[in-house]
């Protein structure tokens, strides 16, 4: 994952190396795998599931989606092992926060227009390249899906009607990754069949559901960095309060960022996500005391 560094005016802070504008996604750290790495060779199969009944399946494998970050994270053993960009709901049709799970994977799905004003008059789309769901969908709840797309340029944008679009190749990789671990249908030949018979829909039940947590967190701490994401749904009433809350949750003094630094960070959001290391925040804080 690529890092998003940032830090008195944006120009000065950038020059002194304290604050930098963040690219959309960071490059994989040593304990994380990219989508490409996840698909190298044959991923581990269902035999890798914990046999001890006392092991919490939620801590073993789960998905997390931060709507504000427009990012889906695969979490194993409480470690983020992969990240994917996703399209989120537009401000008119926002994605919702929820905790639920994926219990079925549907390969080569048809798209059936939902009972919603935006889909009025639309017709069912059969499986195939023109299908808006791409090669696979993973239903969560309330009609919310993780799925591929025939509009790859929309991935990473606030462009959907509430679902989470992925690049189709990455959606297929993720779906197979889950299926191999959570289903008896893990023979590699099945993967080849799903790709070859693109017009045949296949439903695969998972013998263990995959928990999915969907949150809207415009402020996070990741890898010893404070990260801010644009507040696309305008939910943040007070940025200072939001930042202080997250810092305190991680045992970091809430007054660490100076008012001028917070203003700079917020201004930086006009160009996208921003990051600042906690070490640089401390240095800036100490400088203001002298």
CB atoms inside a 10 Å sphere around CB 9: 12
Whether the full predicted model's pTM is greater than 0.85, yes or no, is no
Residue 231's nearest CA partner among 158, 165, 163 is 158
pLDDT for 204:
97
- Phi then psi for 59, rounded to 5 degrees? -80, -20
77-130, pLDDT tens digit by residue? 989 999 999 999 999 999 999 999 999 999 999 998 888 888 888 888 999 988
CB atoms inside a 10 Å sphere around CB 178: 22
Residues of the chain with pLDDT under 50: 1-31, 33-54
Share in percent of the chain as helix, strand, coil (round to 5) = 30, 25, 45
Q: What tokens appear for 108 in the block?
A: 């080569």
Sort strands 20-21 and 274-277 into parallel, antiparallel or unpaired. Answer: antiparallel
268-290, pLDDT tens digit by residue? 999 999 999 988 887 765 555 55
State the DSSP code for 220: E
Q: 72 near 86, Cβ under 8 Å?
A: yes
- Cα–Cα distance measured from residue 242 to residue 221, given in angstroms and rounded to the nearest whole number: 12
Half-sphere exposure of 210 (CA within 13 A, CB side): 30
Sort strands 274-277 and 144-147 into parallel, antiparallel or unpaired. Answer: unpaired
* Domains detected in the chain: 10-25+223-288 (no CATH), 37-215 (2.40.440.10)
Q: Say what the alpha-carbon torsion angle 260, 262, 268, 274 is, to the nearest 10 degrees.
A: 140
In sequence order, what DSSP letters do the residues of 45-93 get, joined into one string? -GGGS---TTS-HHHHEEEEEETTTTEEEEEETTEEEEEEE-BEE-SSS
């Amino acid at each position: 994952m690529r890092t998003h560094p940032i830090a008195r005016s944006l120009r000065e802070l950038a020059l002194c190396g304290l604050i930098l504008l963040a690219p959309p996604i960071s490059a994989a750290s040593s304990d994380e795998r990219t989508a490409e790495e996840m698909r190298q060779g044959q991923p581990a199969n269902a035999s890798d599931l914990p046999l001890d009944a006392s092991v919490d399946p939620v801590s073993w494998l789960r998905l997390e989606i931060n709507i504000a970050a427009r990012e889906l994270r695969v979490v194993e053993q409480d470690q983020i092992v992969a990240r994917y960009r996703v399209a989120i709901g537009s401000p008119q049709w926002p994605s919702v926060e929820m905790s639920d799970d994926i219990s079925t994977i549907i390969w080569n799905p048809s798209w059936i227009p939902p009972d919603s004003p935006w889909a009025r008059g639309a017709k069912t789309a059969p499986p195939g390249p023109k299908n808006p769901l791409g090669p696979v969908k993973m239903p969560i709840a309330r009609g919310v899906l993780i799925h591929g797309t025939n509009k790859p340029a929309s991935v990473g944008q606030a462009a959907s009607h509430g679902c989470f679009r992925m690049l189709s190749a990455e959606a297929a990789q993720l779906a197979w990754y889950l299926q191999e671990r959570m289903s008896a249908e893990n023979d590699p030949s099945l993967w080849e069949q799903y790709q070859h018979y693109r017009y045949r829909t296949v439903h695969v039940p998972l013998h263990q559901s995959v928990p999915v947590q969907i949150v809207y967190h415009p402020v996070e701490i990741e890898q010893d960095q404070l990260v801010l994401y644009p507040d696309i749904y305008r939910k943040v009433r007070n940025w200072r309060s939001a930042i202080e809350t997250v810092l305190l949750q991680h045992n970091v003094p809430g007054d660490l960022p100076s008012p001028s630094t917070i203003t700079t960070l917020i201004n930086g959001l006009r160009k996208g996500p921003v990051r600042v290391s906690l070490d640089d925040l401390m240095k800036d804080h100490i400088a203001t005391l002298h």
